[in-house]
Amino acid sequence: FVFERGVAVVAEKTWQARRAAGVVEIEWEAGKLAGFDSEALRLAMEARSFEPGSAVRVEGDVSAALAREDVTVIEATYEAPFLAHATMEPQNCVAWYKGDEIELWAPTQSSTIIQSVAQQLTKLPKERVIVHTTLMGGGFGRRASHDFPAEAVMISMKLKKPVQIIWSREEDMRTDYFRPQALAHFEAAIDEDGKVAGVSAHVITQSIIGQSDWFGTVFPHWIPDVTRTMLSRTALGLFNTGTVTDPTSTEGLSEMPYAFETTRVEYSQLNVPVPVGFWRSVGHSFNGFFAEGFVDELANAAEKDPFEFRKELLGSTHPRELAVLEEAARRANWGTPTPEGVGRGIAVHHSFASYCAQVVDVRIVDGKIEVERVVCAFDCGMVINPDIVKAQMEGAINFGLSAALLQEITFVDGLPQQSNFDDFPLLRMNEAPEIEVYIIESSAAPTGAGEPGLPPVAPALANAIHDAVGVRLRRMPMQAALTEALADRGAVSYTH
């Protein structure tokens, strides 16, 4: 039967319903994404990056710095694709509508939002909407959305029975709230002494906060529905017209810690109908790559060691970034010769009130990127359970490497082209690097540990690849980018 979100096939058993769904013939409308093409969007973003954006950070006159006669101007454009969350457990939920009460069992990161959505759908009082939060096979931000529980509620209300909704892998991957496609254009001025006179960054991406189908759920339950709707529309209007800048779009760039003489960060919001959502480390996941990749380019242009260059720019004003940077470099034996054919890269990033630096060792074999080792230094304040912190770092590093090396979601005529792990691969066990995690002892208040391990790994990897083969990769996934770059150079294999 048709319901509010599509067509439901219901049976007593999962595979009975799945087989039945396979023979149902459905004629779909093209929908809001008709004609949408992610490659065309990429080209449009690149063109827009040269136009003025909304300023989110201005320190000094960057334009004057770039116009100086005694400087060299460095320009670069960095890109990141749409990404699915690809949780090992596809989205699922059990809902049991009983007329005067509803119970839900869901692997969710947002029990309160699910309760609010179920309350709006059933019109039941809050105390009659019971949500049981189960264990989950991966979240990464995907299970902060409420689409799959809403479907279970709608179908259970129609059948007046308990319903378990289970998405297939293909349904899960193609109807995600994707990590948004993003692009950043940089300009920087370096004087004859290797000093950075100014850095300008312009980020173009969608607003995650301005997604209309969940925004209204964040307001308190005691606010009347009509008022909640009005507040939601007003807030959405502020984000989607650019009146209010979405901080998740520029986080990781807008607060770069380096002591450049002048700094300007701008943002231009994309308004395209692709549903986007929180993806592990959110804006930091791409802005960390953008910022730390470009800082390495500045170090190369200034003919300085990338570690020493960062250390000098951090100075004494950012002691915690400096501490993890120095610890990662020391543990990785930075400055000593690497084995033949191995490149080494470094990056440091502050996110979720924590500080993380990583050094990556990489080897290029017949054009294939092989990550050999990742050394991670991490400061999240006082640590209660070091094993959990280390596990989070290891998971974030492997998750980040999967995205950096291999993953992208592309759209052609509005349809995602990837659907399973054959064309959206995860890092396999035999591809995973040796990981060393070193925790900085601290008496500061505990802070984030689930997400801050991800942002530094992509730029450290890109910087290591440049060290290994002299190719500067500015877009992900890097394996495809490197294959293209080496083909353009007329070779498939390089050594250090």
Q: Which residue has the higher pLDDT, 487 or 476?
A: 476
User: Can you name the residues that pair with 276 across neighbouring β-strands?
Assistant: 178
Q: Which of the residue ranges 19-33, 168-182, 238-252, 438-452 would you say has the lowest mean pLDDT? A: 238-252
Q: Which of the residue ranges 211-220, 322-331, 344-353, 464-473 would you say has the lowest mean pLDDT? A: 211-220
Average pLDDT over residues 3-26: 94
Average pLDDT over residues 145-172: 96
Average pLDDT over residues 371-381: 98
pLDDT at 241 over 80: no
Looking at residue 455, its amino acid is P
- Cβ atoms within 10 Å of 173's Cβ, excluding its own: 23
- Spell out the residues 6+ positions from residue 123 whose beta carbon is closer than 8 angstroms to its own: none
pLDDT at 137 over 50: yes
Q: Pull the structure tokens for residue 45.
A: 């973003």
User: Can you name the residues that pair with 454 across neighbouring β-strands?
Assistant: none
Question: Predicted confidence band at 309 (pLDDT cuts at 50, 70, 90)?
Answer: very high
pLDDT at 228 over 60: no
pLDDT at 491 over 80: no
Question: Predicted confidence band at 495 (pLDDT cuts at 50, 70, 90)?
Answer: very low
Average pLDDT over residues 309-316: 96
pLDDT at 386 over 60: yes
Task: Give pLDDT tens digits for 249-294.
Answer: 999 999 999 999 999 999 999 999 999 999 999 999 999 999 999 9
pLDDT in the model for residue 496: 38
pLDDT at 53 over 60: yes
Task: Give pLDDT tens digits for 419-431.
Answer: 999 999 999 999 9
pLDDT in the model for residue 494: 43
The values of phi and psi at residue 28, to 5°, are -95, 150
pLDDT in the model for residue 266: 98
Looking at 354-474, which runs of residues are DSSP E strands? 354-365, 368-379, 411-412, 415-416, 434-439
The DSSP element (H or E) to which 485 belongs, if any, is helix 478-488
Task: Give pLDDT tens digits for 177-195.
Answer: 999 999 999 999 999 999 9
Record the pTM: 0.94
| Of 458, 243, 240, the residue nearest 362 (C-alpha) | 458
Question: Predicted confidence band at 149 (pLDDT cuts at 50, 70, 90)?
Answer: very high
- Cβ atoms within 10 Å of 39's Cβ, excluding its own: 10
Average pLDDT over residues 169-183: 97
pLDDT in the model for residue 30: 86
Q: Which residue has the higher pLDDT, 23 or 220?
A: 23
pLDDT at 143 over 90: yes
4 by Cβ neighbours in 10 Å (0-12 / 13-18 / 19+) ranks as: exposed
Looking at 387-433, which runs of residues are DSSP E strands? 411-412, 415-416
335 by Cβ neighbours in 10 Å (0-12 / 13-18 / 19+) ranks as: exposed
Q: What percent of the chain has pLDDT over 70?
A: 92
Residue with tokens 């770039």: 66
d(CA 42, CA 40): 5
Looking at residue 419, its amino acid is S
pLDDT in the model for residue 240: 66
To 5 degrees, how large is the angle CA 207–CA 284–CA 211? 20
| Average of per-residue pLDDT values in the chain | 93
The values of phi and psi at residue 447, to 5°, are -130, -160
